């Protein structure tokens, strides 16, 4: 009898040149290495990443579509400054998505046990980061907590939109979190309250907790 062939795992696809430029520029925009108002030149980006200009153009077009850059032919790409209107739009859309997610989750059934378990893990991870003063880790746990709720609602388009919103918010709030570490502890308290409401299956309370939390984020960013 011939031995059964074992399935072979395919190696992960290597990122394309355009993907590498996209990741490089996006990270620099989000952490404000490239400040609002900075003009990015294709040739300089190509040299920095080690690619030709063609993938640079492709990457910049993707970032323009996400609202982070404005392209100017033969000049380069301008990093768009954060505006009061952008803050208002991001917070408003984030609130719509998160309220929809908790409402759908608790519409007729209790929150899925797997989701509650995952949120408990992320809350513990968040608490550990806060205790160690790890602001970056706390920020990542914060984002993962909210993403888990949105993803559990089962709408992949909204999930993708939510990720883009949090990218935009990261650019707005990176300096705020460094300047006000106490806000990280407040986020932890808010997350615990949201989890308690989901665990209790109380849709109205969960909605209230989400509105309360995102409202505080709005106030902080506007400041």
Q: For the packed helices 156-179 and 135-152, what is the interaxial angle rounded to 10 degrees?
A: 160
Q: How confident is the model at residue 173 (pLDDT cuts 50, 70, 90)?
A: low
For residue 41, pLDDT over 60 is answered with: yes
Model pLDDT, residue 4? 47
Torsion sign (Cα): 166, 169, 175, 178: negative
For residue 6, pLDDT beyond 90 = no
In angstroms, the CA 83 to CA 69 distance is 13
Q: How far apart are CA 206 and CA 210, in angstroms?
A: 6
pLDDT tens readout for residues 67-81: 889 999 888 999 998
CATH topology identical between 17-79 and 84-222 = no
What is the residue extent of each domain of the chain? Answer: 17-79, 84-222
What pTM was estimated for this model as a whole? 0.77
CATH architecture of the region 84-222? Up-down Bundle (1.20)
Query: DSSP string covering 67-103, please?
Result: TSEEEETTTEEEEPPP-HHHHHHHHHHHHHHHHHHHH
Contact 83/68 with Cβ under 8 angstroms? Answer: no
Pick the CATH number of 17-79 from 3.40.50.300, 3.40.50.2030, 1.10.10.10, 3.30.300.180: 1.10.10.10
Is 147 within 8 Å of 159 (Cβ atoms)? yes
């Amino acid at each position: 009898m011939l031995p059964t062939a074992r399935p072979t795992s395919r190696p992960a696809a290597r990122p394309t040149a355009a993907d590498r430029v996209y990741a490089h520029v996006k990270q620099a925009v989000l952490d404000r290495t490239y400040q609002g108002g900075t003009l990015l030149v294709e040739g300089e980006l190509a040299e920095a990443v080690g690619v030709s200009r063609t993938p640079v153009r492709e990457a910049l077009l993707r970032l323009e579509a996400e609202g982070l850059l404005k392209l100017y032919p033969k000049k380069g790409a301008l990093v768009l400054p954060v505006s009061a209107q952008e803050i208002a739009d991001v917070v408003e859309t984030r609130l719509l998505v998160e309220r929809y997610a908790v409402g759908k989750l608790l519409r007729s059934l209790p929150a899925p046990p797997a989701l509650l378990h995952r949120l408990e893990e992320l809350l513990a991870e968040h608490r550990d980061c806060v205790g160690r003063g790890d602001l970056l880790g706390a920020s990542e746990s914060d984002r993962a907590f909210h993403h888990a709720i949105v993803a559990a609602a089962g709408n992949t388009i909204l999930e993708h939109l939510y990720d883009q919103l949090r990218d935009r918010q990261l650019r707005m709030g990176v300096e705020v979190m460094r300047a006000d570490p106490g806000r990280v502890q407040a986020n932890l308290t808010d997350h615990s309250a949201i989890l308690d409401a989901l665990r209790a299956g109380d849709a109205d309370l969960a909605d209230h907790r989400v509105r309360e939390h995102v409202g505080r984020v709005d106030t902080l960013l506007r400041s």
